[in-house]
Chain A
Amino acid sequence: MRNYIAVVFDDTTKAYEGLHALWQLDNEGAVTVHGTTVVHRNDWGGFQVDSKDTHPALATAVGVGIGALLGALAGPAGAAVGAAKGAAIGAASGGTVGAVTDLARADTRDESRYETGWVLGAGQSAVIGDVSEDTTFPIDERMRILGGTVHRRAWSAVRDDKWFGDSYLYPNDGYLYPYDYYLYPYEYIPPYDPWWA
């Protein structure tokens, strides 16, 4: 079965250990990882995503992705709010999300915080992954050892939320735009960022 997972950790260091562990499970053949990223929610409630200094043409997709991504993991209602929030913050920043949105967007932002709060609390970090797994045991057990809490939604359920459009480059290709553009298809560790500390 193919699932989107969010593994929540109390700090960023643990989240990166979780990221390593997920790819290690892939390397062992226990699961197959299609893409990952790490998201952090700072003490002020803003979301940050590990991101390269993304090409301007892709920055909006990254920004839209974070709202949709977290919303989708909170269920259908969260997907709606998350997508709306993502659209609002998309143009603001590719790497630091939420902290720089203006007051006019505050209502959307606050609503999204509420909807996704069960996934990611202030000060916590999460590994987000698109994975194929025959059983949930390998990921659950490895993350439990690391102190992470695993949340899952079926890939098909996320698609059925219909808050994702087709790829703007390849309509009807089955991709979850902008979701799939947001996850790295390989392990990526960003350079040190003081915002994450």
Chain B
Amino acid sequence: MQDTHIKDAVDQVRAAAQQLHKAISDAAAKRGGATKADLQAVPQMAKAAIDSIKGSMGAQNEVAKTRLAEAVTYLEATGKHAADGVKSSGKEFQTAVRQTVSDARAAAQKVSEAVAAKRTAESTQSARK
């Protein structure tokens, strides 16, 4: 067990993806649902997460890279659907909120899978030593 586990770039990216999902799902869970104001910050948050991922991908193993690339795709979709939501209303707005939550959830999961791949690789390496 790694009691002194130090969070690296991928852990930080994961925390950012989790925070993004939390923010949008909290907004969607509010009485009356999410508002356009809730969605306005999402594209910027998604872009920041994408930039962090791209900055950390180089040091990862192939499985983790693949998962992170998938996370980028979902984060791009998160930002796009949030931006669409800001420009829409009624049923289209509700659909955009649902898609934004779903994309953010998928992005968080993909980054989490990347973290798992990284930890497994590290565990395997330390077992060989």
| Co-assembled chains A and B | yes
Residues of A within 8 A of B (CB): 2, 27-30, 32-35, 52-58, 132, 134, 138, 167, 169-170, 173, 175, 180-181, 185-186
Q: Is the CB of A29 within 8 A of B109?
A: no
Q: Are A32 and B119 in contact (CB under 8 A)?
A: yes
Q: How far is the CB of A95 from chain B (nearest CB, A)?
A: 11
Which of A29, A58, A173, A175 is the one whose CB lies under 8 Å from B28? A58
- Chain B residue numbers with a CB within 8 Å of A29 are 1-2, 5, 119
Contacts of A173 in B (CB 8 A): 106
The residue from B26, B30, B101 contacting A58, defined by CB atoms under 8 A apart: B101
Known A-B contacts A55-B28, A186-B18, A186-B21; A32 and B101 likewise in contact (beta carbons under 8 Å): no
Verify B29–A54 contact, CB threshold 8 A: yes
Do the beta carbons of B102 and A132 come within 8 Å of each other? no
Min CB–CB distance A152 → chain B (angstroms): 16
Known contacts A53-B29, A54-B29, A134-B123; 18 additional CB pairs below 8 A are A27-B5, A28-B2, A34-B116, A35-B109, A53-B30, A54-B28, A55-B28, A55-B97, A58-B101, A132-B116, A132-B119, A134-B120, A138-B1, A167-B102, A185-B18, A185-B108, A186-B18, A186-B21
Please give, as numbers and ranges, the residues of chain B lying within 8 Å of A167 by CB-CB distance: 102, 106
Contact of B102 with A169 in the complex, beta carbons under 8 Å: yes
Tell me which of A132, A181, A185 has the highest count of chain B C-beta atoms within 10 A of its own C-beta: A185
B80 within 8 A of A: no
B98 interfacial by beta-carbon distance below 8 Å: yes
Residues of A within 8 A of B120 (CB): 132, 134
Given A34-B112, A57-B97, A185-B18: A28 and B1 interface contact (C-beta under 8 Å): yes
- When A28-B1, A52-B29 are in contact, do A34 and B113 touch as well, CB less than 8 Å? yes
Within 14-40 of B, Cβ neighbours of A (below 8 Å) are at: 17-19, 21-22, 25-26, 28-31, 33-34
Q: How many residues of B contact A (CB 8 A)?
A: 35
> Given contacts A29-B119, A169-B99, A169-B102, are A55 and B108 in contact (CB under 8 A)?
no
Residue B60, interface by CB 8 Å: no
Using Cβ atoms and an 8 Å threshold, which residues of chain A touch B21?
Answer: 185-186
Residues of B within 8 Å of A30, CB to CB, are 1-2
- Considering the complex, give the chain A residue whose CB is closest to the CB of B17: A185
Is B66 interfacial (CB 8 A cutoff)? no
Q: How far is the CB of A68 from chain B (nearest CB, A)?
A: 17
Q: Which residues of B contact A33 (CB under 8 A)?
A: 112
Residues of A within 8 A of B123 (CB): 134
A180 near B115: Cβ-Cβ < 8 Å: no
Contacts of A134 in B (CB 8 A): 119-120, 123
